[in-house]
A and B are shown apart, each in its own frame.
Chain A
Amino acid sequence: MKVSIKLSNLYDDFRNPKTIEAYAKLIEKDAKIIDRDIGIMEVCGGHTHTIMKYGLPQLMPKNIHFVHGPGCPVCIMPKERIDHAYTLAMQPDVILVTLGDMIKVPGSNGSLQDARANGADVRFVYSPMDVLEIAKANPTKKVIFFAIGFETTTPMTAALLESVIKQKIDNVLFHINHVTVPEVMTTLMIDGENRPVENKIDAFLGPSHVSVIAGSAIYEPFASIYKRPVVVSGFEPVDVMQSIHMILRQIIEGRSEVEVEYKRAVSKNGNEKAQGLIEKYFEKAPFFSWRGLGKVEKSSWKLRDEFSMYDAEKIYSEILPTKECQDHKLCRCGDILKGLATPPDCTIFGTLCKPSNPTGSCMVSSEGACAAYYKYGNIK
């Protein structure tokens, strides 16, 4: 028997208007019982995008608020790192390769898009494995992969390095900017001296794809220590609505647990093969400077010492700028990434700072809160 399935079969039910409306009713009922303001942080930029694209805030009762989190790999990239990319791209005989939106983020000299307009060879790929083809087609050039992303994309970079080694390709280098979710979530709960920090977060909507790799167990401390319900949610509107309902149920029943709504892809321990690949090639860096959030200890990966011959940051260390850069004085990306402000609270949102000419990084990526508000969120 031949069974054919269409891609739409995979998501149609998760965008079903009747199901969305049914959850809206359940949420409204529970919100009345709770009868106080509830802030739910969606950690991941993919969720921010879903929430704004499908207009979900319009379906929420008055006392349920979305608080946008720090989980957009482009938004949290500090200018220093973009300056690294720009400098590398402008080297003769270098092809700089990165993922999607990254080429639009402004550094102190401009974005990678500007570098390209100034003659640099900058390319974006959908799959990091495409770097192999670029390297083979350009044997006289150094191909530098500017690797970005959370737990989701880290195994792909590791797999690329594994292939580079196996295939003995000698013109691929890496500039690693892979960051991890739990450490930065912790900084939203406590400061460096273990004191609780001010926030508007009563519960977390857990990331989808990060959790596929890392497993839902990574959020246990947020439920057990910080008493915040966590529901790992899928990326479709029905997923988010169901997850909000699950969070409200936990609050009503006085529970704070890690639950998984995105059961079709997430297990407690995650993808252990992918985790093994990460461990094989990477180790934790002492700290990463998150844009707007500052230095967070052990929140990023670097290549293990035995692979330093592939590390562009080491090989080009003499020419890479080290100056720390300040963001625009009026830009509130930092507060937005911490969930302390929403994009309209920022005075330059939509005026000085627009997707066509972003000042802050949250306006760049389609997963950034400011870009999502600008694009979708301006109907009151």
Chain B
Amino acid sequence: MKTITLAHGNGGYESKELVEKLFYSSFSNSILNNSEDAALIEDGKLAFTTDSFTVSPLSFAGGNIGKLAVCGTCNDLAMMGAKPKYLSVAFMIEEGFSIDELKNIIKSMHDELIKNDAMVVCGDTKVVPKGNVDKLFINTTGIGEIYYSGISASHLKEGMAILVSRDIGAHGAVIFAAREGMALSSELKTDCASLYPQVKALVDASIPIVAMRDATRGGLAAVLNEWAVSSGVAIEIDEASIPISDEVKGICELLGFEATALANEGTFVVAVPATETKKTLEILKQTNENAAIIGMVSSTYKGKVVLKSAWGTQRFLELPTGELLPRIC
């Protein structure tokens, strides 16, 4: 590592290397080292997290950077079993940015705060000369109150079931299609959504959630790999059971991507004891009928994710690496 490349921001192997070698080694402490979606503070009573948002284009099918900024931070809290409560918001705005566009973005943030029953309690604004940021960057930090404790990436055990809350890859596919200027005749929208209501439904139904994570950068592949390593188990996935919409499949076919590596902004993976599988699936399906059981925890290849094809072959699903690039021919 001599200079930062875009690969360091992909949420896969290179990001992990950067964070571990540079940040963890300097900031190391018992809370940070747990490397969960949100830090547990005050004896585990509160969850605390931060996230910065930059996306091009700023608005896309089904959302914009403002919706992302609230969902992203609230979801990180929700994934730790916390009720999102207080947010800070910081804007870095490029000179010349349209006030109308900013109003739209703020409105989306407001709508999403209502869904989470959370509020923005402090903030900051910086305006920088043209060219110093790309239109608009947003940072949000959030505090949530833990109402379900014990969720951890390192508690997976053999026999547990792995479920996904909806079809995967929609956000990554929408953003790529927009950047590549692909005119889509379909209704494909980002999955960007607040996940707190769904998590609450699982907790209210007394589902004993073992692990839970929203599959953001690095996609499903990154979450499963982190769990396999943290828990020292193998995760076996039936490839055919992973829900992927026709539109996302199509974009992956055209550009040579794997849907498992595409980013999501409102899709989570959850691990539960095998006995709770059916009930968990029923609750997830109340929000999205594409929710599915995709695999189980085993002990075959510890620390690895195994993808099993419908014709009896298998391969490892690796942590995504490098910048996502379209294939050549």
Contacts and interface: CB of A to CB of B under 8 A. Distances in A.
Interface in B268-309: 301, 306, 309
A261 interface: no
Contacts of B312: 21, 58-59
A153 B328 contact: yes
A126 B180 contact: yes
B246 A7 contact: yes
In this complex, the member of B4, B253, B326 whose beta carbon has the largest number of chain A beta carbons within 10 angstroms is: B326
Given A101-B327, A209-B329, A367-B328, A55 B14 contact: no
A206 interface: no
Interface in B153-209: 180-181
A334 interface: no
Nearest to A130: B181
A233 interface: no
A299 interface: no
Nearest to A358: B322
Nearest to A124: B325
Contact of A366 (B4, B5, B256, B309): B256
Contacts of A55: 309, 313-315
Contacts of A379: 301, 306, 314-316
Nearest to B300: A379
A316 interface: no
B311 interface: yes
Contacts of B181: 130
B327 A367 contact: yes
A56 interface: yes
Contacts of B316: 375-376, 378-379
Interface stretch (A85-93, A110-118, A242-250, A268-276): A110-118
Query: Max chain A CB contacts within 10 Å: which of B246, B311, B322, B326?
Result: B311
A6 B181 CA distance: 21
A117 B318 contact: no
A366 B327 contact: yes
A294 interface: no
Interface string B1-28: 0011111000001100100000000000
A7 B325 contact: no
For chain B, what secondary structure do more than half of its interface residues adopt (helix, strand, loop), or is it mixed?
loop
A336 B91 CA distance: 51
A52 B13 CA distance: 21
A46 B328 CA distance: 10
Given A7-B250, A11-B253, A100 B311 contact: no
A54 B309 contact: yes
Interface stretch (A135-143, A144-152, A191-199, A252-260): A144-152
A73 interface: yes
B253 A73 contact: no
A114 B318 CA distance: 24
A56 B7 CA distance: 30
B117 interface: no
B313 A6 contact: no
A204 B249 CA distance: 30
Contacts of B323: 103-104, 113
A379 B318 CA distance: 12
Contacts of A150: 329
Interface string A155-191: 0000000000000000000000000000000000000
A7 B253 contact: yes
Interface in A226-267: 237
Nearest to A376: B315
B117 to A, nearest CB: 40
B313 A56 contact: yes
A153 B5 CA distance: 28
A215 B4 CA distance: 44
Contacts of B309: 17, 54-55
A152 B316 CA distance: 30
Contacts of B310: 17
A114 B329 contact: no
B315 A365 contact: no
Contacts of A46: 329
A106 interface: no
B33 to A, nearest CB: 23
Contacts of A113: 5-7, 323
Interface string B231-257: 000000000000000100110010110
Contacts of B306: 379
B59 interface: no
B250 A17 contact: no
A130 B181 CA distance: 10
A114 B3 contact: yes
Given A7-B249, A126-B255, 6 more contacts: A99-B328, A113-B323, A117-B4, A237-B311, A355-B322, A366-B327
19 contacts: A7-B249, A7-B253, A8-B246, A17-B309, A17-B311, A20-B311, A53-B315, A55-B313, A55-B315, A59-B311, A100-B328, A103-B323, A104-B325, A113-B323, A124-B325, A130-B181, A150-B329, A355-B322, A365-B327
Closest 7 CB pairs of A and B: A55-B313, A17-B310, A7-B250, A17-B311, A152-B329, A58-B313, A100-B325
Interface of A: 6-8, 11, 17, 20-21, 24, 46, 52-56, 58-59, 73-74, 99-104, 113-114, 116-118, 124, 126, 130, 148-150, 152-153, 209, 237, 354-356, 365-367, 374-379
